[in-house]
Amino acid sequence: MAKQKNNNRSKIPSGYHSDDTGKRITWIEDKTGFNYKDSPVNEPEELKGIIENHIGYMKIPMAIAGPLQLDGHYAKGEFYVPICTLEGTLAISMTRGMYASSVSGGIRVRHVKQELSRAPVFIFDNLDDSIEFMSWVDEHYDDIKKVAESTTQYGKLLRIDQYPVQNYVILDMVLNTGNAAGQNMVTLAAKVACDYIKEQTGCEFILESGFNSDKKASARNMIMGRGHTVLAETTLTHSVMKRILGIHSKDVEKFQQLGPTITTMAGTSGCHLHIANALTAIYLATGQDTACVAENSIGHFQTEPVDHGMKCRLTLPSLTVGTVGGGTRLLPQQQNLELLGCQNGEYSSRKLAEIIGASALALEISLMSAIASDTFAMAHIKYGRR
């Protein structure tokens, strides 16, 4: 009974009345000590660098999901995650997944690398020139690195991978971009580096070859990653599966068996259910460039029956998120970063990436359960649109 009470207190207050919203704000403060402010707003003058021709603000409904218990390298403890969505069921579904994993001991999550690439391409008249060029680049790597890094205080050039194809040589310039998502940082670094190379060699280039696949999911990014790479795992207990998720191992196994074959056949970017939903919801709430979700919706979701329950795992090779720059500095977005404790700190963008990875795993778990228990359609009828 003590446990029951405890459980109730750990659940976000529900309801659609105005004072329910108030109760949730209070509840967050109760849980985190964080005083959530209603709708701070920026002055138009502050939108330079964010948007041109602005005419106002779009109001996207925002909710809270949690608690999310994390054992990460950068993100540790309990989190309440702000999300924006128009899809009924998403907030309660993510909350259910978070709750199920928290009761089972939480989610272990590891940031494994941070590599943002920009890939200019040099163009040649004949093969001899392109092969000579490749040697030149290898030999002058240190000089190129110095030039590239001259444009940024935090970005570090990690390497340049060369790909010869037809009469082109792609230079895949890979940077650690610190706490910035970093797309503009790598563009600028690549630009000055290529200008330098052109000056020294006389070779012509185009700054964007498409190889880095900015804002597009790709095989390259599934294999090599782009931005942050995050791995997450949790082990659901049998009791949690039955009580909270309404599933049995057997149903899940059936689903796990067919999923990879059919998604391979369909040709999706990895076998997962809907990581775009978690990413979009958190990106919107935390000032990320939401168009990057198209690029970042690559992942591998998998379940494995174990003695005491079921392991669930998610690999996200490409999360191009940051905690400085761009929309992160706007007032309401900044407030959400603060709620997550990601507004500053040496590795705040990695911490954010770990929170996103774990939240996405939680949402995958919940939808997987809905499908395996055949309650998916009914949940959408109850909570969803149309």
> Rounded CA gap, 272 and 384, in Å?
21
Q: 305: alpha, beta or left, given left = phi > 0 and alpha = psi -120 to 50?
A: beta
**End-to-end CA distance of the chain, in Å?**
39
- Residue ranges in 181-309 assigned as alpha helix (H): 183-201, 219-224, 238-243, 249-266, 275-285, 293-296
Residue that is written with structure tokens 């494995």 in the block: 304
Instruction: Give the DSSP per-residue string, 32-47.
Output: H---PPS-----GGGG
Part in contact with a copy of itself (CB under 8 A); list of ranges 98-106, 141-149, 241-249, 268-276? 268-276
State which amino acid sits at residue 285.
A
Q: Quick one: tokens of 197?
A: 């190379």
Task: Work out how close the CB of 67 gets to a copy of itself at its nearest, in angstroms, rounded to a whole number.
Answer: 12
Draw the binding track, 308-337, toward a copy of itself (x: CB under 8 A; -: no contact): ---x-x-x-x------xxxx--x-xx--x-
User: Any contact of residue 343 with a copy of itself (CB under 8 A)?
Assistant: no
User: Any contact of residue 362 with a copy of itself (CB under 8 A)?
Assistant: no
Would you say 85 and 61 are in contact if contact means Cβ atoms under 8 Å apart?
yes
**Residues with a known catalytic role:** 87, 289, 380
Which one among 6, 39, 135, 344 touches a copy of itself, defined by CB under 8 A?
39
Restricted to residues 52-111, the positions that interact with a copy of itself (CB under 8 A) are: 52-65, 82, 84-92, 95, 108-110
User: Distance of CA 178 to CAs 159, 181, 232, 324, 384, Å?
Assistant: 16, 8, 21, 9, 39
306: part of which helix (H) or strand (E)? strand 300-306
Task: Work out how close the CB of 216 gets to a copy of itself at its nearest, in angstroms, rounded to a whole number.
Answer: 4
Part in contact with a copy of itself (CB under 8 A); list of ranges 98-106, 240-248, 354-362, 374-382? 374-382
State which amino acid sits at residue 139.
E
User: Any contact of residue 359 with a copy of itself (CB under 8 A)?
Assistant: no
Restricted to residues 148-207, the positions that interact with a copy of itself (CB under 8 A) are: 163-168, 170, 180, 182, 184-185, 187-188, 190-191, 206-207
Which one among 2, 3, 4, 16 touches a copy of itself, defined by CB under 8 A?
16
Q: Give the residue with the Cβ less far from a copy of itself, 143 or 374.
A: 374
User: Any contact of residue 262 with a copy of itself (CB under 8 A)?
Assistant: yes
Which one among 10, 31, 105, 123 touches a copy of itself, defined by CB under 8 A?
123
Task: Work out how close the CB of 146 gets to a copy of itself at its nearest, in angstroms, rounded to a whole number.
Answer: 18
Sign (positive/negative) of CA torsion 218, 222, 224, 230? Answer: positive
State which amino acid sits at residue 138.
D
Q: Quick one: tokens of 272?
A: 């997962």
Task: Work out how close the CB of 224 gets to a copy of itself at its nearest, in angstroms, rounded to a whole number.
Answer: 8
Q: Give the residue with the Cβ less far from a copy of itself, 2 or 50.
A: 50
Part in contact with a copy of itself (CB under 8 A); list of ranges 2-10, 31-39, 241-249, 349-357? 31-39
> Rounded CA gap, 103 and 78, in Å?
12
Part in contact with a copy of itself (CB under 8 A); list of ranges 98-106, 137-145, 266-274, 346-354? 266-274
Restricted to residues 213-252, the positions that interact with a copy of itself (CB under 8 A) are: 213-223, 229, 231, 233
> Which residue from 228, 250, 222, 196 is spatially nearest to 322, judged by alpha carbons?
228
